Amino acid sequence: MNKKKLFFRYVLPMHCIQLLTVWMPNTDITTKIRGRLMRPFFKQCGSNFRIGTRVIINRPDLISIGDNVYIAHQCYLNGTGGLKIERNVSVGPMCVIVTSKHVYQNGAVSMESKASRVVIGEGSWLASHAVINAGVTVAEGTTVGANAVVTKNFEPHTILGGVPARVIRTQETAL
Domain carrying residue 13: 3-170
The contacts of residue 84 (CB under 8 Å, 6+ apart) are 63, 64, 117, 118, 119, 120
Q: In the prediction, which pLDDT does 173 show?
A: 53
DSSP helix/strand/coil, 30: helix
In a domain, 175, yes or no: no
pLDDT score at 175:
47
* pLDDT averaged over 10-residue windows placed end to end, the chain, 175 residues: 85 90 91 95 96 95 97 96 98 97 84 92 97 97 97 96 96 61
Residues 142-150: contacts with CB within 8 Å, 24+ apart? 142/171, 143/171, 143/174, 146/92
Number of structural domains, the chain? 1
Question: How many CB atoms are located within 10 Å of the residue 51 CB?
Answer: 29
The answer to whether residue 19 is domain-embedded is yes
Q: Is residue 133 part of a domain?
A: yes
Look up the CATH number of the domain holding residue 23.
Answer: 2.160.10.10
The C-alpha angle 53, 54, 56, rounded to 5 degrees, equals 130
Other Cβ atoms less than 10 A from the Cβ of 116: the count is: 16
Predicted local confidence at residue 111, as pLDDT: 82
Q: What is the pLDDT of residue 53?
A: 94
Q: Is there a domain that residue 145 lies in?
A: yes
Residue 26 lies in a domain: yes
* The pLDDT of residue 57: 95
Q: Is residue 56 part of a domain?
A: yes
Contacts of 173 by beta carbon, 8 Å cutoff, 6+ apart: none
Please indicate, yes or no, if residue 42 is contained in any of the structural domains.
yes
